Each structure stands twice: as C-alpha cells, then as structure tokens.
Amino acid sequence: MSLANMAPLLVFRPPAVQQVEIVPPDPGMLRVANQMYLTRYQNGDQLIPLTESLKTLQSLSAPSGDAQRYNRALNVLVVNLSEPPAASPEIALDLREAGDAGFLIISNGPVAWTIHGAPAGAMAKLAFESEAPLILRNAPPGIVAGFHIRAFGSYDVVTPADYAQSEQPWRFPVFCSAIRNWSSYFGVPFDQVRIWSYYQSPEYHLRSTAIAADGRDLQWPKSIAVQCAPRPAPPVDPPAPPVQRVRRRYY
C-alpha cells in the first residue's frame, strides 16, 4: 500500500504503477512532464527491477485503514547496513511475538527481507522507509502496512543517517516529522512510539514490547517524542559592559 493520500512525507498505494528513472534513459526515451519511468535500481553489479519490486509490495499491501484497525502500538527499527553493501543483504524478520504492534523499518540500502512466523491472519504489520527498493520473501498477503521509498519516486525519505544526526537540529526535525506521519497513519499517539537502532544483523525479532537483533545485546527502547521535544536554546553569555572612557585632568 503506498502513502499518497496520507501526508506530504508519505506515499501510500499510488493509483497506478509509478515509473522512476534510476539509470540513464535509453536514447530516444520520451520524457513527459510529471511522468517518471521505472527501469531498474543498480547496486554494485546487482540490478533490481523496480516495476517488479513495486508491484510485489502493492500486492502484499493491506487495505487502507488496516494499519489502525489491527495495531495498537508502533515500534520503529532503524537498520544501519554495512557500508557499502555489495549486494542486497538477506535479513530475516521474526513476527512470532508481534502481538498487536505494527513495525516501521528504516534502512539505508536495498535489502531482501524474509518473513518468519507471521501469525495467521496478520494484517498491516510492516511498513518500510528506504532510499532503495526492497525484496520481500515468504510474506503473506496483507502484511505490508505501507512504504515510502525514494526509488519509487517518494520525496523527503529519511534514513538511519538522519536518525544518527539527532544532535544536528537542522536535519533531525525532518526525521521527527516522518515518524509523526507514520504514527498518525498507524493511529498510535506520537508519545507512545518507541525506537530501536541496530547495526546489520542476520535476523531481527519484532515483538510487541521490544525489538531484538541476533548476535547483539538487547537495547532499551528510546522514546522518539522525548528525542523530538523542543530543546532549550543554549545559554548566551551576557554582553560585555561597554568600555567607559575616563578623562583625567592634569593640574
């Protein structure tokens, strides 16, 4: 399901297959205003057909409104992939203990995600935000709540680097705005959204109360609302008193 009718930063279920030019166009390709051509995404020596990737996501997407209907919480997973990934890494997502939580996954490159343990009838559990297209394997129909992917023509896509720059106030508000849009889409209060950030792992366990990564210590969640709260301005030293000039009279 694409995010087009939600908010400026999100594009849910486009009415037609969008086409995006990722590699230089073939000679003579006609360019039409506001029309983009879906060809392929190049990652090293690997070519990912974008049309196929987009159609797969659309076919696995739940109807509009199911993100709110089936979820009572929103957990965010920020995945910092190895730099640069030679090819789309294979990463598993374990949904056995997903419960009534939805999950937003933010990554910085193409990934082949394999779904394990999705409960029978699970709907709208996973949302994806990434610059690159993704591959979903073993995914039941309706498991995708939404996606916001630059390779498909979305704008203002946030990445793990944006989250890492939380100390840089000129960029972090964009990340906060994106999470606000997702929390609204899932119908979860912003102050209840929790976020975990991990380096690349072969498998992530998506639980209603926590997100764990194989081979890494379990992290305590962070409240994105706290991180996005307005920060007090740094103290400003009072101006130095003006220099007083004293005239001396000599007798």
Structure confidence by residue, pLDDT tens digits, 160-176:
988 887 656 555 788 88
DSSP 8-class letter at 42: E
Q: Across the chain, what does the average pLDDT equal?
A: 77
Query: Residues of 200-226 as b/e, b for ≥16 C-beta within 10 angstroms?
Result: bbeebbbbbebbbbeeeeeeebbebbe
Which percentage of the chain shows pLDDT scores above 90? 41
Q: Which three-class secondary structure state does DSSP give residue 45?
A: coil
What would the two tokens of residue 57 be?
């996501």
CA distance 203 to 139: 15
More confidently predicted of 164 and 122 = 122
Cα gap 119→203, rounded to integer Å: 17
Element (H, E) at 48: strand 46-49
Q: Which of 125, 138, 45 is nearest to 91 (CA)?
A: 138
Position 66: which residue type?
D
pLDDT digits (tens, 9 = 90+) for 19-47: 333 333 333 222 222 223 344 444 444 45
Please say whether the beta carbons of 106 and 160 come within 8 A: yes
Torsion of CA 184, 185, 186, 190, to 10 degrees: -20
Beta strand 90-94 pairing with 111-116: parallel
Range with lowest mean pLDDT among 14-28, 67-81, 235-249: 14-28
User: Which of 6-15, 186-195, 229-238 shows the lowest per-residue confidence on average (mean pLDDT)?
Assistant: 6-15
pLDDT score at 247? 66
**CA–CA distance, 214 with 203 (Å, rounded to integer):** 6
Where is 226: in which H helix or E strand?
Answer: helix 224-228
pLDDT of residue 85: 57
Does 84 sit behind a cis peptide bond, omega within 30 degrees of 0 on the bond before it? yes
Characterise 227 by phi-psi region: left (phi > 0), alpha (psi -120 to 50), beta (else). Answer: alpha
- By DSSP bridging, strand 211-213 and strand 126-130 are unpaired
**Token code pair at residue 229:** 């709260």
Q: Mark 171-195 as b/e (b = at least 16 C-beta within 10 Å).
A: ebeebbebbbbbbebbebebeebbb
Provide the token pair at 209.
């109360």
